[in-house]
Chains A and B, each alone.
Chain A
Amino acid sequence: MNQALVLLAEQEAPKFIQFLKDEFGRKNPDEPVPTSDQVVAAWKQGLTTSLAKDDSWDANHPATSDAAKTTGD
């Protein structure tokens, strides 16, 4: 279990650090400022992609598989 936690931490650390950099890091002043249309489009695209990942996980893990695993334990 501890090994799994370490592996998970290793796996997630880059995402976590990237999130902090993206969200809170100092921006390059030469970086172009996004327009309103781009910001709205990014939100819509992000929402669609993110919900699709939820749906994909659900599709690959039907609710009945929980009961089967519990019985198996």
Chain B
Amino acid sequence: MKCLSRQLVGIIVCAVVIMCAQACANKMPPNLTPQAQHAFVNTQALKVLDLIRDVAVDGNASTPQVFTESSTRKIVAFHRSALKTIDAAGTGWSAAVQQGLEELGKDLPPSEQQVLQPYISLAISALKGFQ
């Protein structure tokens, strides 16, 4: 039953994510300069990556811990690395960050991966909308 409800939540989250990601592409304010367009997309990516980092940090701070310190360190390091990549690259970073997110998920223990996976799926779908 628990497994079924988790799957159901996963399906709902994925459906919302896909709809949101598709809606996202039309949201950029008009008349932005090319630099501001990049900054706008970068900010969207930052927000979704912050969400993942915050879940990990808060889960690490909870009692009992949902994320170990080791896993949280990996997530924080990925977050920093992804933001620096986005800042440095300007454009063309989306595929690399998506791949990094997928690898990050695989690199976590199964119980932690299960908790973080909906957020990773959200981030990947959102990033696909930014391509």
**A interface SS class:** helix
Min C-beta distance of B83 to chain A, whole Å: 6
Q: In the complex, A58→B62 CA distance in Å? A: 17
Asked if residues B47 and A19 are in contact (CB atoms below 8 Å), the reply is yes
Asked if residues B115 and A46 are in contact (CB atoms below 8 Å), the reply is no
Min C-beta distance of B109 to chain A, whole Å: 12
Residue of B nearest to A3 (CB): B64
Contact with A along B33-49 (1 / 0, CB 8 A): 10110011011101111
Contact with B along A45-63 (1 / 0, CB 8 A): 0110011011001100101
Min C-beta distance of A22 to chain B, whole Å: 7
Query: In the complex, which residues of chain B have a beta carbon less than 8 angstroms from the beta carbon of A39?
Result: 29, 32, 36, 39-40, 43
Asked if residues A47 and B51 are in contact (CB atoms below 8 Å), the reply is no
**B interface SS class:** helix
Point out the residue from B33, B58, B66 that lies within 8 Å of A36, measured CB to CB. Answer: B33
Min C-beta distance of A6 to chain B, whole Å: 10
**A71 at the B interface (CB under 8 A):** no
Residue of A nearest to B78 (CB): A54
Residue of A nearest to B16 (CB): A20
Min C-beta distance of B47 to chain A, whole Å: 6
A-B pairs, top 10 by smallest CB distance, nearest first, are A36-B36, A43-B39, A24-B20, A39-B36, A36-B33, A40-B39, A54-B80, A33-B29, A43-B43, A4-B62
User: Taking beta carbons and an 8 Å cutoff, which residues of B are in contact with A?
Assistant: 16, 20, 23-24, 27, 29-33, 35-36, 39-40, 42-44, 46-51, 53-55, 57-59, 62-66, 68-70, 72-73, 76, 79-80, 83-84, 87, 111, 115, 119, 126
- What are 23 A-B interface contacts by the 8 Å CB criterion? A1-B66, A1-B111, A4-B62, A4-B65, A12-B54, A12-B55, A19-B47, A19-B48, A19-B51, A22-B47, A23-B24, A24-B20, A36-B32, A39-B29, A39-B36, A39-B43, A40-B35, A46-B46, A50-B49, A51-B83, A54-B79, A66-B68, A69-B69
